[in-house]
């Protein structure tokens, strides 16, 4: 074991240095500028969080809606994770790619998709009004909590499918078979054998969903209206609309503190329930449906995913087609009628998004896998302290982070404000915790006797990793790569603040179009959103096909 630590210990400095330079340093800079302007300590804005009941209500609503959204997402995602983990069926890879698209879309686009489907003039209401001969829309969900929760489930179901399904696919089926031989029924086998083994992966997926809902911004702001505000929405209002940066920084600290508390409880619980397992190859556990009941279950889940996750996307794509001239909005993307300096050629935005996403995947995998090994194999005291810290970027306001980058990285020794590399760095900061949560359960579930046996037989640490660990952990690494790619493609909050005008991304281009009045600009925004969906779908299909080859079916 000491030999392994000696080989891997230099990699431990990588995530620590990355967090120090690109998370804690910018955060400390914005805290200093907010609470000690001119070198004089001023905590007035921090104490205001306790004096004003409004901020307490915002924190309560943020936590409550995130908890309910997480529960609903688990209820929707776990059956889908079971089907994807246990069965092979035609179109499985395509369906997985399609169901991942919602996660990549900027929240403003998700909100637009639900408005296109369920709004007063959306597809569903228009269809029902025509069928029932009604004069007003029968479905009235605009500016409601129900629509916020529905959008969160839509946005995050793929997190559960990927994280839980990726781990479930590698569980040894002989464990369940042994339980059945000993007389347990299916429910008893699931409750007493399968569920305890899945708890770390379920907790990891649920935690990621909670964090996304806890920091929800665009969905709440657009679909909820002025009656609802999460901490992220309030941070944006205080920093951008009211120019009260100290209050925004105080709210961001409250958000980070809550995240750290949740992370600490979760990581300790996960470490206590994780046990070494004889994980199996995904190809060995996935089988074609053998009975009528299994076929019905697979068909039901597939149709349910298509209706719930794909219907809003189809509604958005449909709205991007102009009446009488379907390709008008797409053609207008390539026309700069006013010769505006803000014009964004779609080809340039697509190229930038793909380039930034590719760089993000490489950096997130390097840092995330190193961090996962540190948490699984490193000194336990350091691992316990670092585990919740790794997830803090997910609980930090993107607006605060972007402002911190502008303040901290605009002068030597880290003068990166004018460099386009700052964008993939910011994306990596948000993406690498997903890689960690995808890889860590697989690493902790590996049977340590496999490595010991290989070492006794003379295999080098590199060969042990390549031939023993990678064939099982590789699937989790690819799941992490999917998350890193999707997060980078859809990241908006920090990008809009730090991206150079000559290096726009697709979400930034969509935001610029949505911010301009007129039906033409709105149609162009939907057309760019449809292009973003297409680019991501092609990328996901390629990843699924790659995962079905030598690396994915272990």
Say what the pLDDT of residue 7 is. 45
**Cα distance between residue 362 and residue 435, in whole Å:** 11
Query: CA-CA distances (angstroms) from residue 501 to 421, 509, 513?
Result: 14, 10, 14
Residue 195 C-beta-side C-alpha neighbours within 13 Å? 8
**1-10, 354-363, 493-502: which has the highest mean pLDDT?**
354-363
| Mean pLDDT over each residue of the chain, to the nearest integer | 78
For Cα atoms 79, 361, 343, give the angle at the middle one, nearest 5 degrees: 105
Mean pLDDT of 56-61: 87
72 has pLDDT over 90: yes
Residue 280: which pLDDT band, with cuts at 50, 70 and 90?
Answer: low
What is the end-to-end Cα distance of the chain in Å, rounded? Answer: 25
Say what the pLDDT of residue 344 is. 66
The CATH code of domain 2-39+54-547 reads: 1.10.3720.10
Query: What are the domain boundaries of the chain?
Result: 2-39+54-547
38 has pLDDT over 70: no
Say what the pLDDT of residue 542 is. 63
Residue 378 · residue 12 · CB < 8 Å: yes
* Bond prior to 49 in cis (omega within 30° of 0): no
Greater model confidence, 546 or 366: 366
Mean pLDDT of 503-531: 81
Say what the pLDDT of residue 2 is. 47
% of the chain with per-residue pLDDT over 90: 7
Residue 540: which pLDDT band, with cuts at 50, 70 and 90?
Answer: low
- Interval 158-180: pLDDT, tens: 888 888 887 787 776 777 777 77
Say what the pLDDT of residue 341 is. 59
Say what the pLDDT of residue 3 is. 46
The lowest-confidence range among 55-64, 145-154, 261-270, 426-435 is 261-270
543 has pLDDT over 70: no
% of the chain with per-residue pLDDT over 70: 84
- Quote the radius of gyration of the chain (alpha carbons, Å): 24
Residue 70: which pLDDT band, with cuts at 50, 70 and 90?
Answer: very high
Residue 71: which pLDDT band, with cuts at 50, 70 and 90?
Answer: very high
355 has pLDDT over 60: yes
Say what the pLDDT of residue 145 is. 85
Mean pLDDT of 388-394: 78
Please state the separation of Cα 204 from the chain's center in Å: 12
Say what the pLDDT of residue 34 is. 72
Mean pLDDT of 380-408: 76
Burial code (b: 16+ CB inside 10 Å, e: under 16) for 206-227 equals: bbbbbbbbbbbbbbbbbbbeee
Give the global pTM. 0.74
* Dihedral Cα 404, 407, 410, 413, nearest 10 deg: -80
**Cα distance between residue 524 and residue 332, in whole Å:** 7
């Amino acid at each position: 074991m000491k030999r392994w630590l000696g080989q891997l210990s230099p990699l431990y400095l990588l995530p620590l240095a990355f967090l120090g330079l690109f998370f804690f340093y910018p955060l400390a800079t914005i805290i200093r500028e907010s609470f000690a302007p001119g070198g004089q300590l001023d905590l007035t804005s921090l104490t205001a969080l306790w004096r004003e009941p409004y901020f307490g209500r915002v924190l309560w609503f943020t936590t409550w809606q995130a908890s309910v959204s997480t529960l609903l997402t688990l209820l929707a995602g776990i059956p889908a994770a079971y089907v994807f983990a246990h069965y092979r069926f035609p179109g499985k890879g395509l369906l997985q790619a399609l169901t991942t698209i919602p996660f990549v879309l900027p929240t403003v686009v998700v909100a637009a998709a639900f408005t296109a489907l369920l709004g007063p003039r959306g597809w569903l209401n228009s269809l029902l009004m025509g069928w029932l001969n009604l004069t007003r829309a029968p479905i009235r969900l605009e500016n409601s909590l129900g629509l916020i929760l529905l959008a969160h489930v839509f946005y995050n179901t793929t997190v559960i499918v990927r994280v839980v399904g990726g781990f479930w696919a590698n569980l040894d089926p002989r464990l369940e078979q042994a339980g059945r031989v000993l007389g347990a029924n299916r429910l008893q086998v699931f409750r007493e054998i399968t569920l305890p083994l899945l708890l770390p992966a379920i907790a990891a997926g649920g935690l990621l969903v909670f964090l996304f809902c806890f920091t929800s911004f665009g969905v709440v702001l657009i679909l909820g209206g002025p009656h609802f505000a999460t901490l992220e929405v309030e941070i944006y209002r205080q920093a951008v609309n009211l120019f009260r940066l100290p209050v925004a920084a105080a709210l961001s600290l409250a958000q980070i503190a809550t995240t750290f508390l949740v992370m600490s409880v979760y990581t300790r619980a996960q470490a206590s329930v994780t046990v070494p397992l004889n994980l199996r190859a995904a190809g060995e556990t996935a089988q074609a449906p053998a009975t009528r009941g299994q076929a019905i279950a697979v068909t039901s889940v597939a149709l349910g995913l298509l209706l719930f996750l794909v219907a809003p996307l189809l509604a958005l794509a449909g709205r991007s087609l102009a009446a009488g001239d379907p390709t008008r909005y797409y053609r207008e993307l390539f026309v700069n009628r006013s010769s505006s300096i803000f014009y964004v050629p779609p080809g340039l935005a697509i190229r930038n998004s793909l380039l930034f996403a590719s760089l993000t995947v490489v950096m997130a995998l390097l840092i995330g896998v190193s961090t996962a090994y540190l948490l699984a194999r490193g000194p336990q005291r350091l691992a316990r302290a670092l585990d919740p810290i790794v997830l803090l970027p997910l609980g930090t306001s993107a607006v605060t982070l972007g402002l911190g980058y502008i303040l901290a990285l605009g002068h030597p020794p880290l003068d990166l404000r004018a460099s386009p590399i700052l964008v993939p760095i910011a994306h990596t900061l948000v993406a690498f915790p997903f890689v960690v949560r995808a890889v860590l359960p697989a690493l902790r579930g590996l049977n340590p006797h496999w490595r010991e046996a290989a070492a006794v037989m003379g295999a080098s640490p590199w060969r042990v990793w390549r031939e023993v660990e990678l064939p099982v952990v590789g699937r989790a690494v690819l799941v992490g790569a999917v998350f890193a790619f999707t997060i980078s493609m859809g990241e908006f909050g920090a990008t809009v603040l730090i991206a150079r005008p000559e290096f726009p991304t697709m979400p930034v281009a969509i935001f610029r179009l949505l911010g301009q009045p007129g039906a033409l600009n709105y149609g162009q925004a939907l057309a760019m959103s449809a292009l973003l969906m297409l680019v991501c779908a092609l990328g996901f299909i390629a990843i699924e096909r790659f995962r079905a080859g030598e690396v994915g079916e272990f």
